[in-house]
Amino acid sequence: MSKKRVLLGMSGGVDSSVSAILLQKQGYEVIGCTMELWKPEDGKEESTCCGNTAIYDAKRVCDLLGIPHYTINCKSEFKEKVVDNFIQEYEKARTPNPCIECNKYLKFGSFYQKAKELECNYIATGHYASIEFSKNYNQYVLKKCKEEKKDQTYFLYTIPKEILGNIIFPLQNYTNKEEIRKIALENNLNVAHKKDSQEICFIPDNDYQSFLKKYGKSKQSVGNIVLKNGKILGKHKGLINYTIGQRKGIGISYPEPLYVIELNKQKNEVIVGTKEQLYTNKLYAKDLNWQAIEPKGEPIECMAKIRYRAKTAKATIYIEKDRAKVIFDTNQRAITKGQSIVFYDNEGIVLGGGKIL
């Protein structure tokens, strides 16, 4: 068995395809693998990153590079762990992040098990993130890549720390997507100009409200739109149609701009308020996963971000049994239940993370 055999997750896109080239150049024995994740009940091909087209594109790249390619049927697990969770969270008036769930259970769960079956020492993906051995923490750690705007560590905090040393991110030193496309062109890859997927893979038209109405089980009913003090301003069309921080399309008039600041599932209310009421410096998080550290009970000073596009901000973590209380030095805008908070040290190393309560 080769000591440098790696199973590469291939979505049929340019990032994972170029990752195969880079791994080959580094001397790895590469095996390509695509997960079949989603097939809707009506039979239409909707998945943008792991459907039939993605499998075909990945196979063509592997054929060109002379490496084997496998497909894994993960549709049942994907439906249970990602799609069903997505629906259930929205029906609880929470806002989930399906990419994080997919990484947790599929891309660094089932995929890692498949790698062991194929006697691979490593798994690799086209994520923009970095893995390195830290002398400070005396272990392998997940770290932000060089380009902050492309960094994807926010989606990867659920990876078990025990397998970080078995993960390779071939793109960790690249900061420009044009560099990646240039490599693809130079190697005659058919996916060189393939567009990046920007939406949820199982909702390619990005119309999540229609998706939830089609697959959800809870009937969305009309309720009140209210101010924080309980004053009724109008009616809403169902909680799934509103998000924290939303201003446009609420459907009410008021002397000053109002934003959605809370969704109350119990009372079926959309609570609105001023821009200032969107900001707070405290949250609670559950389902914690720690990578670089193991909390001992003392407060932990860190940098934290509450959504993928948010900037990191100074915060202090207080562990309370199976959850964490997080206090930011400065107020944060539109903290949203169901999203994740990810903790970093000052060097960009991921300490851990959890789901916002």
Note whether residue 157 is domain-resident: no
Is the residue at 212 inside a domain? Answer: no
**204, amino acid identity:** P
Domain that holds residue 328: 278-356
Task: Please tell me whether residues 78 and 119 are part of one structural domain.
Answer: yes
Q: Give the torsion through C-alpha atoms of 347, 317, 321, 340, to 10 deg.
A: -70
Residue 209 lies in a domain: no
Same domain, 44 and 109: yes
Tell me, yes or no, whether 261 and 330 share the same domain: no
Q: What is the predicted pLDDT for the residue at 43?
A: 57
- For the record, the structure tokens of 206 come out as 């990005």
Clarify whether residues 247 and 316 are in a common domain: no
| Average pLDDT, 10 consecutive residues per value, the chain (357 residues) | 83 95 97 90 58 89 96 95 96 96 96 96 96 98 90 97 97 91 94 82 88 87 94 95 95 94 96 97 98 95 97 97 96 98 98 98
284 and 243: one domain? no
Residues β-bridged to residue 316: 301, 327
pLDDT of residue 47: 54
Q: Is residue 153 part of a domain?
A: no
CATH number for the domain that contains residue 322? 2.40.30.10
Residues 181 and 39 in one domain: yes
Residue 238 lies in a domain: yes
Q: What's the pLDDT at 153?
A: 98
Whether residues 44 and 120 fall in one domain: yes
In angstroms, the CA 241 to CA 230 distance is 20
Domain co-membership, 42 together with 174: yes
SS3 281: strand
Q: Which of 102, 120, 145, 302 is catalytic?
A: 102
Same domain, yes or no, for 336 and 350?
Answer: yes
Co-location of 282 and 250 in the same domain: no
Question: What pLDDT shows up at residue 1?
Answer: 45
Give the CATH number, domain containing residue 267: 2.30.30.280
The angle subtended at Cα 193 by Cα 188 and Cα 199, nearest 5°, is 140
Give the residue among 137, 145, 204, 141 at the shortest CA–CA distance from 167: 141
End-to-end CA distance of the chain: 46
Spot the catalytic one: 62, 145, 201, 302: 201
CB burial of 210-238 (b: ≥16 within 10 Å; e: otherwise) equals ebbeeebeeebeebbbbbeeeeebeebbb
Whether 302 is a known active-site residue: answer no
Task: Tell me what pLDDT residue 44 has.
Answer: 57
Answer whether residue 131 is part of any domain: no
Distances 225 to 62, 257, 335 between C-alpha atoms, Å: 54, 14, 19
In-domain check, residue 11: yes
Is-catalytic flag, 49? no
Strands across the sheet with 29-36, in order? 69-73, 29-36, 5-9, 122-124, 167-168
Contact call for residues 282 and 306 (beta carbons, < 8 A): no
Q: Domain count of the chain?
A: 3
What interhelical angle do 84-91 and 208-215 show, nearest 10? 100
Q: Is residue 42 domain-shared with residue 179, that is, in the same domain? A: yes
| CATH assignment of the domain containing 80 | 3.40.50.620
Q: Are 268 and 313 part of one and the same domain?
A: no
The amino acid that residue 98 corresponds to is P
Residue 213 lies in a domain: no
Domain-terminating residue out of 273, 308, 342: 273
